[in-house]
Amino acid sequence: MTAFTNIPKQVEEVLEKWNKKTSRRTFLKGSGLLVVSFSAAGITGASLLGPAANAQVIAAAQAAGPYPDPDFRQLDSWIVIHEDSTATFYVGKTDGGQGTGTAFRQMMSDELDIAFNKTNLIMGNTEITVDQGGSGGSDAIETDGWPMRRVAAEARRVLQEMASARFGVPGEQLAVSEGVITVKADPSQKVTYGELIGEKRFNVTLTGDNINATTGVAKVKAVQDLKIVGQSPQRYDIPAKVDGSLKWAVDARVPGMVHARNVRPPVAGAKLINIDESSVRGIPGFIKVVSKGNYVAVVCEREEQAIQAARQLKMQWEKPKTPSFPRSEDLYRYMRNATPTSVVQPRPPSPDVIGDPDAALASAAKVIEAEYEFPFQGHTALGPAHAMADPSNGQMTIWSNDMKAYGLRTGVADFLGMPRDRVRVIWQEGPQLYGRTAADDAGFEAAFLAKEVGRPVRMQWMRHEETAWDVKGPAFVFKLRGGLDAQGNLIALEYKARTADYNHIGYNDPDTVLIAQLMGRRPSTPAPGGASPPAEMYAIPNRRRTTEVVALPLVWETPLRVGNLRDPNGPQTTFAGESFIDELAAAAKADPVEFRLRLLAASRDDDEQFKRARSIAALKAAAAAYGWDTRPSPKPLGTGTILTGRGISYCYRKETIVAEIAEVEVNRETGHVWVKRLVCAHDCGLVINPEGLRNAIEGNMLHGLSRALHEEVRFDTEKVTSADWLSHPTLTHADTPAMIDLVLVNGDPNPNRPDLPPYGAGEAAIKPTVAAVANAIYDATGVRIRRVPFRDKSVLAAFKAARL
Amino acid sequence: MSNITLKVNGKTHTLDVDPSVPLLYILRNDLGLLGPRFGCGLGQCGACMVIIKGAAVRSCITPCSSAQGSEITTLEGLAKGGVLHPVQQAWIDEQVPQCGFCQNGQIMTAKALLDKNPDPTDAEIRAGMDRALCRCMTYYRIQAAIKRAAKLIAAAGQSSGKEVGA
Residue A10 pLDDT > 60, yes or no? no
pLDDT at A351: 76
Same domain, A186 and A303: no
**DSSP string across A334-372:** HHHHSPPSEEPPPPTT--SEES-HHHHHHH-SEEEEEEE
Give the list of residues 6+ apart from residue A643 with CB closer than 8 angstroms, or none.
A637, A665, A666, A668, A780, A781
- Number of domains into which chain A is organized: 3
Nearest residue of B to residue A739 by CA position?
B140
Q: Is A358 a member of any domain?
A: no
Q: What is the mean pLDDT of residues A401-408?
A: 97
Q: Residue A269: is its pLDDT beyond 90?
A: yes
A691–B41 C-beta distance less than 8 A? no
Which of A409, A433, A461 corresponds to the end of one domain?
A: A461
d(CA B67, CA A137) in angstroms, rounded, equals 46
Tell me which residue in B45, B96, B141 faces A725 most closely, judged by beta carbons.
Answer: B45
CB atoms A382 and B134 under 8 Å: yes
Using CB atoms, which residue from B76, B95, B127 is nearest to A695? B95
pLDDT at B160: 61
Chain B residues whose CB is inside 8 A of the A429 CB are 99-101
B76 inside 8 A of chain A by CB? yes
The DSSP secondary structure of A580-595, one letter per residue, reads HHHHHHHHTT--HHHH
Q: If 0-12 CB within 10 Å is exposed, 13-18 middle and 19+ buried, where does residue A316 land?
A: exposed
Tell whether A197 and A281 lie within a shared domain: no
Yes or no, beta carbons of A733 and B74 under 8 Å apart: no
A711 and A776 in a single domain? The answer is yes
Given pLDDT bands bounded at 50, 70 and 90, which one contains residue A373?
A: very high
CB contact under 8 A, B143 and A736: yes
**Residue A278 is part of which domain span?**
250-321+385-461
pLDDT confidence band for A13 (50 / 70 / 90): low
User: What does the pLDDT read at residue A73?
Assistant: 98
Q: Which residues of B touch A244 (CB under 8 A)?
A: 34-35, 74-76, 78, 104
Q: Region A372-392: what's the mean pLDDT?
A: 98
Q: Which of B136, B141, B147 to mutate to test the interface with A (most CBs of A within 10 A)?
A: B136
A160-166: average pLDDT: 98
Q: Which residues of B touch A238 (CB under 8 A)?
A: 91-92, 95-97, 100
A697, A733, A740, A741, best to mutate vs chain B, most B CBs in 10 Å: A733
Q: Confirm if A300 and A285 have CB atoms less than 8 A apart.
A: yes
**Range in A54-68, A570-584, A659-673 the model is least confident about:** A54-68
* Residue A30 or A688, more confident: A688
Write out pLDDT tens, residues A79-131: 999 999 999 999 999 999 999 999 999 999 999 999 999 999 999 999 999 99
For residue A644, what is the enclosing H or E element? strand A642-653
Which of B21 and B160 is assigned the larger pLDDT?
Answer: B21
Flag whether pLDDT at B166 surpasses 80. no
Interface contact B140-A248, CB threshold 8 A? no
Residue range A399-408: average pLDDT? 97
Are residues A704 and A434 in contact, defined by beta-carbon separation less than 8 angstroms?
A: no
Q: Give chain B's domains with CATH numbers.
A: 2-77 (3.10.20.30), 86-160 (1.10.150.120)
Residue A259's SS3 state is strand
What CATH number is given to the structural domain containing A701?
3.30.365.10
A242 with B138: Cβ contact below 8 A: no
Judge whether residue A2 has pLDDT over 90.
no
How near does any CA of chain A get to the CA of B86, in Å? 11
With residues binned 3-state (H G I as helix, E B as strand, rest as coil), the percentages for chain B, rounded to 5, are 40, 15, 40
Domain end point (choices A461, A481, A503):
A461
| pLDDT, tens digit (0-9, with 9 covering 90-100), for A515-545 | 999 999 999 999 999 999 999 999 999 999 9
What is the rounded average pLDDT of the residues A614-640?
A: 98
Give pLDDT tens digits for A279-325. Answer: 999 999 999 999 999 999 999 999 999 999 999 999 999 999 999 99
User: Which residue from A503, A492, A559 is spatially nearest to A723, judged by alpha carbons?
Assistant: A559
For an interface test with A, which of B76, B83, B102, B135 has the most A Cβ atoms less than 10 Å from its Cβ? B135
Q: Do A242 and B101 touch (CB under 8 A)?
A: no
| pLDDT at residue A62, as a whole number | 54
**Residue B131 — pLDDT band, cuts 50, 70, 90?**
very high
Question: Which position has the higher pLDDT, B16 or A29?
Answer: B16
To the nearest 10°, report the CA torsion of A289, A293, A295, A297. 0
- Verify that A289 and A173 share a domain, yes or no: no
- Least Cα distance to A259 among A411, A392, A59, A442 occurs for A442
Tens of pLDDT, residue by residue over A200-244, are: 999 999 999 999 999 999 999 999 999 999 999 999 999 999 999
A48 pLDDT higher than 80: no
**Confidence at B71, pLDDT banded by 50, 70, 90:** very high
Q: Which residues contact A603 (CB under 8 A, 6 or more apart)?
A: A539, A612
- ipTM value: 0.96
Query: What integer pLDDT is reported at residue A544 of this predicted model?
Result: 96
**Residue spans of alpha helices (H) in A756-802:** 769-781, 792-801
Please tell me the distance from the alpha carbon of residue A199 to that of residue A299, in angstroms, as a whole number: 45
Task: List the single residue in A with minimal CA-CA distance to B35.
Answer: A244
Residues A120 and A254 in one domain: no
How far apart, in whole angstroms, are the C-alpha atoms of residue A178 and residue B43?
A: 50
Q: Is residue A371 part of a domain?
A: no
What's residue A474's pLDDT? Answer: 98
In this prediction, residue A347 carries a pLDDT of 72
How do residues A450-494 score in pLDDT, each as one tens digit?
999 999 999 999 999 999 999 999 999 999 999 999 999 999 999
Q: Do A733 and B79 touch (CB under 8 A)?
A: no
pLDDT at A284: 97
Distance in angstroms (rounded) separating the CA atoms of residues A494 and A353: 9
| pLDDT (mean) for A420-426 | 96
Residue A329 lies in a domain: no
Helix (H) or strand (E) holding B144: helix B139-160
Q: Are residues A722 and A794 in the same domain?
A: yes
Does the structure show a pLDDT above 60 at A31? Answer: no
Q: What pLDDT does A63 receive? A: 65
* φ and ψ of A589, to 5 deg: 55, 40
Residues A694 and A639 in one domain: yes
Q: How high is the pLDDT of residue A349?
A: 66
Give backbone dihedrals phi and psi of A50, rounded to 5 degrees, phi first: -80, 170
> Quick check: B15 contacting A, CB < 8 Å?
no
Query: What is the rounded CA–CA span in Å between residue A114 and residue A225?
Result: 14
A123 in Cβ contact with A105 (< 8 Å) = no
- Answer yes or no: do A652 and A759 share one domain: yes
Q: Could you tell me if A650 and A710 lie in one domain?
A: yes
Are the Cβ atoms of B84 and A243 closer than 8 angstroms?
yes
Best-predicted range by mean pLDDT (A55-64, A605-614, B131-140): B131-140
Specify if A344 maps to a domain: no
Tell me the average pLDDT of chain A. 93
CA B4 to chain centre: 22
Residue A741 has pLDDT above 70, yes or no: yes
Examine residue A622 and state whether it is found in any structural domain, yes or no.
yes
Rounded CA-CA distance A679/A375 in Å is: 26
Residue A367: inside a domain? no
A179 lies in a domain? yes
A759 closest CA partner among A696, A701, A685: A685
**Strand, coil or helix: B63:** strand
On whether any CB of chain B is under 8 Å from the CB of A791, the answer is: no
Burial track A347-359 (b if 16+ CB lie within 10 A, e otherwise): eeeeebebeebee
Q: Are residues A310 and A425 in the same domain?
A: yes
One-letter amino acid identity for A47? Answer: S
Tell me if chain A has a CB within 8 Å of the CB of B38: yes
Query: Which positions 115-154 of B are in contact with A (Cβ < 8 Å)?
Result: 122, 125-127, 129-143
Residues A688 and A610 in one domain: yes
- Taking an 8 Å cut-off on Cβ atoms, the answer to whether A737 and B135 are in contact is no
Number of residue pairs across A and B with CB atoms under 8 Å?
172
Local confidence band at A345 (pLDDT 50, 70, 90 cut-offs) = confident
Report the residue from A429, A724, A737 with minimal CB separation from B42: A724
Q: Which of B123, B100, B101, B35 lies closest to B72, judged by CA? A: B35
A218 and A254 co-located in one domain: no
User: In which element (H, E) is residue A400 found?
Assistant: strand A396-400
Confidence band, pLDDT 50/70/90 cuts, at residue A667: very high
The residue from A198, A230, A262 where one domain ends is A230
Q: Is residue A797 part of a domain?
A: yes
Q: Which of A319, A201, A371 is nearest to A786 (CA)?
A: A371
Rounded Cα distance, A29 and A14, in Å: 16
- Find the distance separating the first CA and the last CA of chain A, reported in whole Å: 72
How many residues does the structure list for chain B? 166
B82-109 in b/e form (b: 16+ CB < 10 A) is eebbbbbbbbbbbbbbbbbbbbbbbbbb
- Chain A contact for B47, CB < 8 A? yes
